Amino acid sequence: MSKAGKESMYQKALKIIMDAGEEGILQSELWKLLGATSREGSRIALKLERRGLIVRQRELHGGRWTYRLFPKIRKVSVASIVGCPCFTCPDAFRCSPGGVVDPVKCYDLIRWVLETAPLEEEGEE
Ligand code: SF4
């Protein structure tokens, strides 16, 4: 397989794993979806893990040890930044950490983060 072909295979694999989300996907399911052999599939999963893009977790499935693959990166939706005050802020051009206008001390930004951030359950770390 060419280098471009391999990269395309890695990208396809990463997309499948990202689409699987928090449930993850068994390595054997990934091979099937990619149309790859088990050896190629293992190599791809290992490479993606070494690149820091996924996590492989050992799992006993159907009496055999395999890996479940989870994405380490998440898709970001535009919805997650809707309402951020920085987009309409007149001070945005001079705002920087440690600058005259500092985002760390910005009440508008702090208020928006506190209003939109998911609350952690009490006792959760
Ligand atoms: S952090 Fe505050 S001051 Fe800086 S751009 Fe955002 S809203 Fe404006």
**Quick one: average pLDDT of 99-118?**
89
Note whether 85 and 102 are same-domain residues. Answer: yes
Burial class (CB in 10 A: 0-12, 13-18, 19+), 123: exposed
pLDDT in tens, 9-60: 889 999 999 999 889 999 999 999 998 888 988 999 999 999 999 999 999 9
84 Cβ inside 6 Å of ligand 1: no
Distance from residue 73's CA to the centre of ligand 1 (Å): 26
Residue 118 confidence (pLDDT) above 90: no
Note whether 36 and 66 are same-domain residues. Answer: yes
Number of domains in the chain: 2
Note whether 8 and 55 are same-domain residues. Answer: yes
Tokens of 33: 């979806």
Distance from residue 99's CA to the centre of ligand 1 (Å): 11
Which candidate, 31, 38, 26, places its Cα nearest to that of 70?
26
Distance from residue 87's CA to the centre of ligand 1 (Å): 8
Instruction: Report pTM.
Output: 0.59
